[in-house]
Every structure is written in C-alpha cells, then in structure tokens.
Chains A and B, each alone.
Chain A
C-alpha cells in the first residue's frame, strides 16, 4: 500500500486527489483506498479520470519544446514546471470497509475527509474487494467524464491483471456485465471488446 495522492475535493460519490507524482496518476480503472483514521473505516474508489494542468488556472500552458529540447528534457530545462503543474485524478466511490472488517459494495455513509491520503491497493486487497461485483452497477451509473462502459472495462482489465490474469474472474465479470447491460447491445459489445484478452 503506497500513498499516491491527497484529497482536494470530496463528495458522497467521488473524490479528487492531487497526485504526488507529476504525470503519474494511478491507472484508469484501478482500485484505490482511503483510510479514515479514528473511525477504522476504509473507503474504496475506482480511478475514473486523470488530468495534468497548470496549478494556477489563470496561467496558460505554453509550448516549451525546441529542436534540441523536447519531451522529458523539457522538464530538466524548466525545473519550475514540476512546481507549477499538477496531476489530479478522480475516483468514484464504490464501497467501504467498516470496523467489523466487512466489505460493503455501496456508497459509504460519509465522504472521505479532505486532505486525507489516497493509497494504492495491493493484489490481495483487490482480490478481496472484487470477489463480489455488485459495485459494477455504481460504475455503470456514474456520470463522469468518460463513457461508463469504458471506465468499467478499464476497471475489469486492471482487476483481472491484479488477480494474476484471472480468466475465471474475467469470465464471471463478463457475465455480470452482460446481465447489467441486457437490452443495450451496443454498449455491451463495446465493453466486451474492451476487456477481451489478447
């Protein structure tokens, strides 16, 4: 479990965090956690969006590259960029774990607190949380920046990989999705294509 960001906006269904590392928000669809000290509660979220922008909305990002200096070299040439840009990510809340240790796959009773740390989840935790998949509904119903089925597809890919390319789980997830999107052929097809193992 690694601290990867700090919450700068929070609500009942999502959080936004500043990533500790520029350009490296957690992978789209990955499971993250927020430990709420004192209440012995862990809130889970699925990373639903990432963005890198100027820290000050009034400052426009301008071109920095030249013939000789481009890509990563730009950041060595302009060290202030590390301090004037920021990477943020949003996670949709998909569940929580109470003091009894039980995992609940529905929205937590309270939003996670501002300024608390967002952490990665290790493989074991991903496996434990994704054992049940009722939270898929929350992801499909989300009105975020991305089409919900693409977000769910990203989550399924990330989770299957974290579970060691668990084909059985992937098949179960696909069946779950097929049930959820029955009657919505186009969306289902797009999702299934996006999670098809290569």
Chain B
C-alpha cells in the first residue's frame, strides 16, 4: 500500500480539531446575530455606494430583494395535482488517450405527477457526439475543443432542452415545476473567451425563455452549496469601508476584525442552517456574479431552503422569483420534494439514477468503438500510458 496512512493521520486529526473550535462556533453565532439584525435597505445602500466608488467589492455579494434576515415558512401547495420534472446529466468526456475524438452525453429525466392520478415517467436520452460541430467551437478560424468546463456547458444545454420538452409533456392537471441539477448561474462562461460565451450564452438564455413563454416555473437545485454571497454581504456590514484592505480596517474593533475574518471562511449554508427552520426559505437575493449582467430578462436570483436535512440553494430566473404564484409554488413544491425524498428532491434522485453512466457502460462504449473500427480494418491503439495503467503488469 503506497499511501502512508500513518503519516496522514495526525494531520487529519489536527485539521478536524481546527475546524471545530469554540471561537469558530462563537463567530458563527455572532454572524447569525448580524444576519437577524441586518437591514436590507442599509445593506443595499452600502453595496450601491461601493459600486459607485472606484473601490470594487472583491467578492460576490448577495443583494437582498426582501429583508435579508427573513425566514418564510413553506406555503401550501397550490393544488393537490401537480408535476415535478427534473433532469441530471452524465458524460463520457473526450479521451485524449484514444485515437478518436468523441463524447457521450446522457440526460436522465424524471417526471413525477401527484394528486388524483399519480404517475411517474423515468427515462434517459443518450447522445453520441463525434461530428466537427459537436466537438469544436469555431472562432475566427480557430477550433476550440468542447471539453472540461465547455463540455459541462454543453451538457447543461442538453439538460435544459430535455427538461423543457419533458415539462411540456406533463399532464395538464395542475402546475409543473422544472428542476435542473446544479447552478443556473453559468459563471464558468466568464473565464471563457468571448467566442465561447457567444456560442453558449444565447442558447442558455433561449432555453430559459422557452420556459418563460410556456409559463413553466424553472429552477435549479444545489445541494450543500459552497456559495458565500450572504456571508460576504455581512462582511460589508461588519468591516465598514475598506473592503480591499480586509483585515486592516481602521476604526474596526479587534472583535469586528476577527468576525470579518471568520465570515470569509463561512459558507452561507452554515449561517442558514442555524437561521432557518426545516421547510423555511431565506430572502430572495440577486447575485453579483458578472455573467448575470448578460442574462437580461433571464437574470437569475436565489434563495436558501432548509430541506430538513441541509441547506439547499435554489436558483431561478427573476420572472419565477418575482411572481408570487411561481415563487410560492417553487418553495412549496421543493420543500415537498425534499420531504418525499428524505432530504433531497425525489425527482432529482430519479433523474440522477437515469443519467448515471456506469464504468461497465463506459467500457462497453469503448469496446463498441473498437469493434466498429476493427470492422473498417483499423486497429484501435490507445496511448501507451493508458494501456500500461489498464494492464498493471508486475
């Protein structure tokens, strides 16, 4: 066993001890108190002032659309008849050890209908992509390969398209909620070159607009979110003025500085796990993610929800969040889904089950490619490194 566990073990123990100190717990409590007492109007003023000045806010912050310390209990479902449609995706990415370039996308779908005529429809859509237009984005004569984050965006597009079709086919009785797995804020686009952004973003926004035109509430669900938007907003209230020189704030007490430093490490979910009761949602907030400036009418907002097990982040276009009927349905239906799914939306569980590509299936696809090539008289040669890893000879 080459991994020396004896060397690692004391470091693990030290990390665990550091993660649970009394001072951290105290800071978390102090941060929650700030959250309860914070005034949304004042916070928005501070953010606006900072945005007007040259002093950029170096973090993403949450701009509350309601009182930031609010906690809303789940409203009742609007009707006993309703459907929840969900998608999840899985991919076999392009393999650089293979002589042929291709990828496979598998979109898992679940449509669960409740009420008078309960029903379930679970299925998957598989896509094999080996054509030039699938494998590369062309920009000024250059070919930008669809892989890594770009493959993730392509997957998301497939999922949103399939989600819309599945939602449209839902029974007419009662409203339909369309749930996407992961974030609707495709911030990764911001790190891509303009050509890539121009390729993906209009398609993503078109997908969201189709939901809007059809009057279908669409949202995305993030389990165990890593976001710090709200914690960062609280930092603005704690440390006063000089956000760029965090930790050196003149005029701040030592206690405030320590709290500010602690907030830099807190995820929003840690705050809301204390702040919200099961079923409750937080205030709706705008994100300051720069990519959202290009979302127009599809600008995405978010809130946190106590699922009974954890804090989840729900993201949806503003036309869902700002419409009372859609917002209440989203909150009620997701809380209900988490109850049925023992802490996680049942429709997403089923969509995931449909989406999964097993190691065996992955191997089978490779084998099918090998056989197809062999039929053409071509010997499939993988990289020597990959072959050696598979063979593992002694």
Contacts and interface: CB of A to CB of B under 8 A. Distances in A.
B335 interface: no
Contacts of A59: 353
Contacts of B340: 77-78
A84 B350 contact: yes
Interface in A46-91: 56, 59, 62, 75-84
A59 B122 CA distance: 16
B346 A84 contact: no
Contacts of A62: 342
Interface in B352-393: 353
- Tell which of B110, B350, B353 has the most Cβ of chain A within 10 Å: B353
Interface string B101-124: 000000000101110001111100
Contacts of B121: 83
Contacts of B118: 75-77, 79
B77 to A, nearest CB: 13
B122 A80 contact: yes
Interface in B237-293: none
Contacts of A77: 114, 118, 340
Contact of B119 (A56, A79, A84): A79
Given A62-B342, A75-B118, A80 B350 contact: yes
The size bracket of the interface on B is 10 to 19
A80 B110 contact: yes
Main secondary structure of the interface of B (DSSP, over half): strand
Given A77-B340, A78-B340, A78-B346, A83 B353 contact: no
The size bracket of the interface on A is 10 to 19
Interface string B333-353: 000000010100010001001
A56 B353 contact: yes
Nearest to A63: B342
A78 B350 CA distance: 11
- Tell which of B110, B114, B120, B121 has the most Cβ of chain A within 10 Å: B120
A76 B120 CA distance: 10
A83 B349 CA distance: 13
A79 B112 contact: yes
A80 B342 contact: no
A62 B342 CA distance: 10
A78 B122 CA distance: 13
Nearest to B341: A78
Contacts of A75: 118
Interface string B317-347: 0000000000000000000000010100010
B236 to A, nearest CB: 43
Contacts of A83: 120-122, 350
B122 A79 contact: no
B357 to A, nearest CB: 14
- Tell which of A77, A81, A83 has the most Cβ of chain B within 10 Å: A83
A16 B342 CA distance: 33
B62 to A, nearest CB: 34
B114 A79 contact: yes
A79 B350 contact: no
A17 to B, nearest CB: 21
A56 B350 CA distance: 12
Given A56-B353, A59-B353, A82 B342 contact: no
A96 to B, nearest CB: 36
Given A56-B353, A59-B353, A79 B120 contact: yes
Interface in B105-154: 110, 112-114, 118-122
Interface in B213-253: none
Interface in A76-112: 76-84
Contacts of B346: 78, 80
Contacts of B113: 79
A77 B340 CA distance: 8
Nearest to B342: A62
B147 to A, nearest CB: 29
A75 B113 CA distance: 12
A79 B119 CA distance: 5
7 A-B pairs with the lowest CB-CB distances in the bound complex, closest first: A79-B118, A79-B120, A80-B120, A76-B118, A83-B120, A83-B122, A80-B350
Given A75-B118, A81-B120, 18 more contacts: A59-B353, A62-B342, A76-B114, A79-B112, A79-B118, A79-B120, A80-B110, A80-B112, A80-B120, A80-B122, A80-B350, A82-B120, A83-B120, A83-B121, A83-B122, A83-B350, A84-B122, A84-B353
27 contacts: A56-B353, A59-B353, A76-B114, A76-B118, A77-B114, A77-B118, A78-B340, A78-B346, A79-B112, A79-B113, A79-B114, A79-B118, A79-B119, A79-B120, A80-B110, A80-B112, A80-B120, A80-B122, A80-B346, A80-B350, A81-B120, A83-B120, A83-B122, A83-B350, A84-B122, A84-B350, A84-B353
